[in-house]
Amino acid sequence: MSVKLAVLGHGVVGSGVVELFYKNKAKIEKRAGKELDIKYILDLRDFPDSPYKDKFTKDFNDILNDDEVVSVAECMGGIEPAFTFVKSCLEKGKSVSTSNKELVAAKGDILLRTAKENNCNFFFEASVGGAIPIIRPLHKCLAANDIDKVMGILNGTTNFILTKMKDDNMNFEDALKLAQELGYAEKDPTADVEGHDACRKICIISSLVFGKHVYPKSVYTKGISDLKLCDIESAEILGYSVKVIASVRKLENGKILPAVMPMLVPLENIISGVDDVFNAVMVYGDGIDKAMFYGRGAGKLPTASAVLGDVINTVQHDNTVVSQTWESVENNDFVAPIEEFKSKWYFRVPLDCKKVKTESYTSDDGISFITPKELTFAEAAEKIGELNALAYIPVLD
Ligand code: HSE
């Protein structure tokens, strides 16, 4: 008899999980070492034309109370009811694989503990980097390293928008609309545009690498809503591309500094060439020096691929806990404030500014230049006032 699976949510990712599962069923079963089938798909909407219409249920209890279901893919998004559903499944010993970064960033510690207590697994490879394997490499393949920095591009939608603006002269609104049509953006795309999605992902990576739960509210987060096309163009002339960089690094004082913000990336840095919906994550460790992970960061089948990889893993490890845990914490006092961040900065100042003494580029929009020295956020703020700066963006070293 086949092992029974359930999929919670039939949106972009959930429908991708069902589609990819049936497309590659024979291969998936071979790799899992067992016959598998999806018994339920949970969604409140009706899908009368779906070839899988007999599998739909609107009642979560059908799944929870069915002892045949041993592995559940959660693709609903949001914290509730996803948290309640996932926790109840784990309490019943059903392993869960999720693509829901909001859930993992908010409640990952609790769900990992619940899985361990109930002899099952909670996996979330699809929650960071879409198709890219990054969670399992950090947890398993790179486990022998002292990892002191992880950084990269973790939001496909903003990377897609920035690429379309730069290469195709598309305006922000049209590029966002296209990203939504292609199924890259969140239900509420402000989570992408304002950096919250990338923030959740760097929280998950930080918690995993440094062993304590990092909450989104502790992380400095800035999106792309006030970025101007003229700054993207000036940056390119100065030898940089503009990317939303999510990063976390260990400081000398033992604290960690996670952050999400647009940054100028030197064109010779491989990250500057990561375009469209692609994500890239660079991991720095004492054994590996550095390793880069690259691939499609969003979209139906790329994300479904990561969810199903986890589902296969749950089936292979039935009744064995192989998922990691990290500490629950009272507060995030081990997270350093953004004031400890230092970098060179890009400034655009008014055309009549006489104080620019360094190499610069002048256009109708102002004079653009990179500060010769690194500045903290406080020092940059002082300079912004002094120069009446029209734009200011930190530069990746
Ligand atoms: N909205 C997300 C992104 C989806 O654009 O990266 C993948 O997590």
Report the CATH number that the domain containing residue 16 is assigned in CATH.
Answer: 3.40.50.720
Instruction: Give a yes or no: residue 325 inside a domain.
Output: no
Hey, which residues are catalytic here?
Answer: 201
Instruction: Give a yes or no: residue 168 inside a domain.
Output: yes
Nearest to 264 by CA among 226, 237, 303, 291: 237
Q: What is the pLDDT of residue 323?
A: 82
Q: What is the pLDDT of residue 138?
A: 97
Ligand 1 center to 30 CA (angstroms)? 30
Q: What is the pLDDT of residue 324?
A: 80
Instruction: Give a yes or no: residue 198 inside a domain.
Output: yes
CB 297 near ligand 1, within 6 Å: yes
pTM across the whole model: 0.97
Instruction: Give a yes or no: residue 324 inside a domain.
Output: no
Domain shared by 178 and 234, yes or no? yes
Domain shared by 157 and 255, yes or no? yes
Domain shared by 230 and 312, yes or no? no
Domain shared by 268 and 366, yes or no? no
Domain shared by 203 and 80, yes or no? no
Spatial contact of 185 and 192, defined as CB atoms under 8 Å apart: yes
Instruction: Give a yes or no: residue 332 inside a domain.
Output: no
Cα-based torsion angle of the residue sequence 3, 7, 10, 11 in order, rounded to the nearest 10 degrees: -120
Spatial contact of 101 and 187, defined as CB atoms under 8 Å apart: no
CB 194 near ligand 1, within 6 Å: no
Best substitution site from 75, 101, 192 to test ligand 1's pocket, by max atoms within 8 Å of Cβ? 192
Instruction: Give a yes or no: residue 35 inside a domain.
Output: yes
Say which CATH number the domain at 161 has: 3.30.360.10
Ligand 1 center to 189 CA (angstroms)? 9
Domain shared by 142 and 241, yes or no? yes
Name the residue range of residue 253's domain.
Answer: 136-296
Domain shared by 192 and 115, yes or no? no
Q: Which amino acid is at 380?
A: A
Instruction: Give a yes or no: residue 140 inside a domain.
Output: yes
Q: What is the pLDDT of residue 380?
A: 98
Partners of 248 in the beta sheet?
150, 258
Q: Is 343 helix (H, G, I), strand (E, B) or coil?
A: strand
- Structural domain count of the chain: 3
Domain shared by 236 and 146, yes or no? yes
d(CA 142, CA 291): 10
CB 157 near ligand 1, within 6 Å: yes
Closest ligand 1 atom to the C-alpha of 154?
Answer: 6
Among 282, 316, 350, the domain-final residue is: 316
CB 102 near ligand 1, within 6 Å: no
Q: What is the pLDDT of residue 384?
A: 97
CB 163 near ligand 1, within 6 Å: no
Size of the chain in residues: 397
Closest ligand 1 atom to the C-alpha of 127?
Answer: 8
Instruction: Give a yes or no: residue 327 inside a domain.
Output: no
Q: Is 265 helix (H, G, I), strand (E, B) or coil?
A: strand
Domain shared by 205 and 290, yes or no? yes
**Structure token digits, residue 376:** 């903290």
Q: What is the pLDDT of residue 381?
A: 97
Q: What is the pLDDT of residue 135?
A: 98
Q: Give the C-alpha distances (Å, rounded to integers) separating 219 from 18, 226, 254.
A: 35, 19, 17
Among 281, 316, 351, the domain-final residue is: 316
Q: Residue 233 contacts by C-beta under 8 Å, 6 or more apart in sequence?
A: 166, 363
Domain shared by 255 and 145, yes or no? yes
Domain shared by 278 and 309, yes or no? no
Q: What is the pLDDT of residue 18?
A: 98
Q: Which residue lies with its CA nearest to atom 7 of ligand 1?
A: 298
Best substitution site from 12, 74, 132, 157 to test ligand 1's pocket, by max atoms within 8 Å of Cβ? 157
CB 345 near ligand 1, within 6 Å: no
Q: What is the pLDDT of residue 222?
A: 98
CB 98 near ligand 1, within 6 Å: no
Domain shared by 64 and 78, yes or no? yes
Q: What is the pLDDT along the chain (397 residues), one digit of tens a residue?
A: 899 999 999 999 999 999 999 999 999 999 999 999 999 999 999 999 999 999 999 999 999 999 999 999 999 999 999 999 999 999 999 999 999 999 999 999 999 999 999 999 999 999 999 999 999 999 999 999 999 999 999 999 999 999 999 999 899 999 999 999 999 999 899 999 999 999 999 999 999 999 999 999 999 999 999 999 999 999 999 999 999 999 999 999 999 999 999 999 999 999 999 999 999 999 999 999 999 999 999 999 999 999 999 999 999 998 899 988 899 999 999 999 999 999 999 999 999 999 999 999 999 999 999 999 999 999 999 999 999 999 999 999 9
Ligand 1 center to 385 CA (angstroms)? 35
Among 239, 266, 296, the domain-final residue is: 296
CB 295 near ligand 1, within 6 Å: no
Ligand 1 center to 14 CA (angstroms)? 14
Partners of 71 in the beta sheet?
5, 95
Ligand 1 center to 248 CA (angstroms)? 19
Q: Give the C-alpha distances (Å, rounded to integers) separating 391 from 178, 189, 226, 355, 356.
A: 27, 24, 9, 16, 14
b (16+ CB within 10 A) / e for 105-121 = bbbbbbbbbbbbebebb
